[in-house]
Structure 1
Amino acid sequence: MGLTNAPVLKSDRVILRGPQMADFDAFSAFHADPDRAPGFGPVYRRDESWRWFALNIGHWHIHGYGYFTIADPVTDAPIGISGIWNPDGWPEPELGWVVYAGHEGKGIAFEAATRARKWAYEDLGFTTLTSNIVPGNIRSIALAERLGATYERTYNNVHMGEDLLYRHPGPEART
Structure 2
Amino acid sequence: MLTNAPTLETERLILRSPVTGDAEAVIAFLMDEGRAKGFGYCSTRSDAWRWFALSVGHWHIHGYGYFTVVDKATEMPVGMVGIWNPEGWPEPELGWVVFDGAEGKGIAYEAAQRALQWAYDDLGFTTMTSQIVPTNTRSIALAERMGAHHESTYDNVHMGEEMLFRHLGAKAFKAGAVA
TM-score of the superposed pair, with normalisation by structure 1: 0.97
1:12 paired with 2:11, answer yes
1:52-85: CA deviations, max 9, x gaps?
1110111000100000000111333111000000
Q: How far apart, CA to CA, are the structure 2 residues paired with 1:140 and 1:84? A: 15
Structure 2 equivalent of residue 124 of structure 1: 123
Structure 2 equivalent of residue 88 of structure 1: 87
Structure 2 unaligned residues grouped into runs of 5+:
none
Structure 1 equivalent of residue 161 of structure 2: 162
1:84-120: CA deviations, max 9, x gaps?
0001110000000000010000000000000000000
1:111 paired with 2:87, answer no
The Cα of 1:46 is off from its aligned counterpart by 1.3
Structure 2 equivalent of residue 43 of structure 1: 42
Structure 2 equivalent of residue 28 of structure 1: 27
Q: How far apart, CA to CA, are the structure 1 residues paired with 2:2 and 2:40? A: 23
Structure 1 unaligned residues grouped into runs of 5+:
none
Given that residues 12 and 73 in structure 2 are in contact (C-alpha distance below 8 angstroms), is that contact kept between their aligned partners in structure 1? no
Runs (4 or more) in structure 1 with deviation over 2 Å come to none
Query: Residue 106 of structure 1 aligns to which amino acid in structure 2?
Result: K
Structure 2 equivalent of residue 61 of structure 1: 60
Q: How far apart, CA to CA, are the structure 2 residues paired with 1:109 and 1:125? A: 22
The Cα of 1:43 is off from its aligned counterpart by 3.5
**Count of aligned residue pairs for this structure pair:** 174
Name the Cα RMSD after superposition.
Answer: 0.9
Q: How far apart, CA to CA, are the structure 2 residues paired with 1:42 and 1:28? A: 10
Structure 2 equivalent of residue 152 of structure 1: 151
Partner-residue secondary structure (3-state), 1:92: coil
Percent of aligned pairs sharing the same letter: 64
Given that residues 23 and 77 in structure 1 are in contact (C-alpha distance below 8 angstroms), is that contact kept between their aligned partners in structure 2? no
1:111-141: CA deviations, max 9, x gaps?
0000000000000000011000001110000
Q: How far apart, CA to CA, are the structure 2 residues paired with 1:75 and 1:49? A: 25
Q: How far apart, CA to CA, are the structure 2 residues paired with 1:16 and 1:37? A: 20
